[in-house]
Chains A and B, each alone.
Chain A
Amino acid sequence: MIELKNVSKSFDSNQVLKNISATFKPGITNMIIGGSGSGKTTLLKCMIGLHDIDAGEINYDGVDFSKLDFKEKIPIRKEIGMLFQSAALFDSMNVEENVLFPLNMFSDWSMEEKLDRVNFCLKRVNLENINKLRISDLSGGMKKRVGIARAIAMQPKYLFCDEPNSGLDPKTSIIIDNLIREITIEYQITTVINSHDMNSVMEIGDHIIFLHQGQNWWEGANTDLIKAANQEVNEFVFASKLMKSKFQ
């Protein structure tokens, strides 16, 4: 479980996050949504330690991650899997080497065991027999799936996904969404997804936080989202004609 308590973050005089508190439970897909500039990416980067926060707490199962130094953070970081918007795969390595990388770095398994795990993870994301392909040879959807395979290689307790559907066609988006949800439930991972894709939100958003002007403006499930009595939430959710015709 990840718990945020009054998290604030400023860049110079611009306060991007204002006293954000929230709880992300394991086994469900937690989503952070909001318009551009609402602070979603900053919040995610604060949660994974890429930005230091100015005030508040970020607790990973009771341990305040924000107060730890680089070395103290390592044990928690080993339990974090991250899927980046661009997948952030190492392009000097092939598919197999990418998924193998965290295992090589942090496990003392034999090479046979590590390769078994790599093949298992690739199979889990429906990618088989592509181990030796270069990253530049993969499609956008395949890159995201390799990114997921790398993220789950170390059997993480926490999974973060930054805009997992950006740049993907609707069909591939649904495949990626379902994959993240299945993995979350199967391994009881605490998953936090940063998205502004309403299709994803309505498909897999078990617990949603709506950020507006750096604040936790609204919180609830996707079924409550379409009934929310909040002007900013309604403007965001029903911005597209499709959502209007479907739910209003």
Chain B
Amino acid sequence: MFFYHFGKYLLFLKNVFTKPENFKVYWKEIIREMNLIGVGSLGIIAVISIFLGAVTCIQTAYQLVSNLIPRDIIGVITRDSVILEFSPTISLLVLSGRVGGSISSQLGTMRVTEQIDALEIMGVNSTGFLVLPKIVAAVITIPMLVIISMFLGLMGAYIIGPLTGVISGTEFISGVLRDWNSFIILVALIKTVLFSFLMTSVSAYQGFYTKGGALEVGESSTKAVVYSSVLILFADYLVAQILL
């Protein structure tokens, strides 16, 4: 069963990446999807990032009870946790529910209401037309969201640290800048691009091959969220193992 779906998924991707019939129409779709995926997710990403940063700062401080450890280490740990893990991974897990579920239910509904059949009868490569703009839009906009998320996460920590007295603003900034290595940003962005691709393509695959009616559309959305979340976590481990 796994190999059947894996093979089908690869063939699906092959169809997605075939030459578009009309670049102009595809470009319009990409812009529309960028707005839906990127701008539409900005609010939720901003909220979770600020809170994740704040919580990381407080919990790190809670565990560092020794006076021998400099306080600015809280800034170092918060920075690495937010940039390397929370912004790319937690954001993508949240987006797999918001964006992945939406992609799957949209394509599933189009399938059961014969809209995909209508595209195919017209001679349109339905896989390419419906899925490629979503993947391109996600791979472009989600890394931007993640960069915003990193900044807001650190801002959340910077605000909440001095406010609760666990670390001063100067110590936090000093920690964030201590032994700075731009490589962690690169690793985070590699993760983000990979996770974005997995989330959109797996969700689209689940929705595109929906059979039945409203019940099955719901099942496809659930599968899309579950499978893409598991794959994101698996890919997270692989990237960490390989790059760090």
Contacts and interface: CB of A to CB of B under 8 A. Distances in A.
Interface in B7-28: 21-22, 24-25
A206 to B, nearest CB: 24
Contact of A82 (B22, B24, B121, B125): B121
Interface residues of B, number: 16
A105 interface: yes
A74 interface: yes
A48 B124 contact: no
Interface stretch (A14-22, A56-64, A84-92, A239-247): A84-92
Interface residues on A, range: 20 to 34
B117 A50 contact: yes
Given A104-B22, A105-B25, A106-B22, A77 B114 contact: no
A104 B117 contact: no
Contacts of B115: 88-91
Contacts, number: 52
A53 interface: no
Contacts of A50: 117, 120-121
Nearest to A74: B123
A35 interface: no
A105 B113 CA distance: 21
Interface of B: 21-22, 24-25, 110, 113-115, 117-118, 120-125
Given A82-B121, A102-B122, 18 more contacts: A48-B121, A70-B125, A77-B120, A77-B121, A77-B123, A80-B122, A82-B118, A84-B118, A86-B113, A86-B114, A88-B114, A88-B118, A90-B110, A101-B122, A104-B25, A105-B21, A105-B124, A154-B122
